[in-house]
Structure formats: structure tokens, C-alpha cells
Amino acid sequence: MPRHKVRVPCSVTCADTGATLLTHTAELSLQAISLTIPLNPTYGADDPSKVGTKVSLKLALPVGYVRLTGLLLRHQQADPNDHLFVFKIEAASDLDRRLYDEYVDSLE
């Protein structure tokens, strides 16, 4: 499954805490989304390990906002200021899933 390096603004809402973090994607595929979460306390997490395993993602695509539910696949420190998270796409409304899939397909 191809992955596309693309920076899309998004928000991540942690299912456990309800905290919302502002960030951007690093890569998109039809099955997963990778994103970076900065250590900046204004827009990120003081402790990225507390993001949790289940999140709600809101992506600002050119066609509008789409909401997806993600399950954590991987977390690692990308550099001294950012953490990389990879979430498997678990659920979305039919419309949001269609819009997301069409956007990813258009990147090829």
C-alpha cells in the first residue's frame, strides 16, 4: 500500500483524556496516518507518551474537514522536539471515509 509524504493540518483528540493537540501529518495511506506531535506545550504535549492508544483525528483536507478514529500502531521520538505517531484508521463516517480515500488516491 503506497504512503504519501504530505503535510495536512490536523487535530488529535485523546480518547482517554479528552485533550486536543494541534499538529500535522507526515504521511498518509489508505490504512494509516503518521503525524508528528511537538513537545511545544502550547500546541503539543508535555509528555507525548500520554496521547493514548485511541484517538479522534480531524484533518483539514482541501475538500473540507474529515473525522477519523485511529488506533496507535507506533510511537517513537522523531527528533529532540517532535514525536512520530502512526495510527491505523479504525472508523469514519461513510462520507468522511470517501473524502479521505479520494484525497489519498489523488496524491498518486
Provide the pLDDT confidence category of residue 12 given band limits of 50, 70 and 90: very high
Spell out the residues 6+ positions from residue 39 whose beta carbon is closer than 8 angstroms to its own: 45, 46, 48, 81, 82, 83
- CA-CA-CA-CA torsion for 59, 94, 103, 14, nearest 10 degrees? 20
pTM of the complete model = 0.91
For the chain, domains (ranges, CATH) are: 4-106 (2.40.10.220)
DSSP 8-state symbol, 53: S
**How many Å apart are CA 2 and CA 38, to the nearest integer?**
26
Q: What values do phi and psi take at 105, rounded to 5? A: -60, -35
User: Within 13 Å, how many C-alpha atoms sit on residue 11's CB side?
Assistant: 10
What is the average pLDDT value for the chain, to the nearest integer? Answer: 91
What pLDDT digit, counting tens, does each position of 43-79 carry?
666 677 678 899 999 999 999 999 999 999 999 988 8
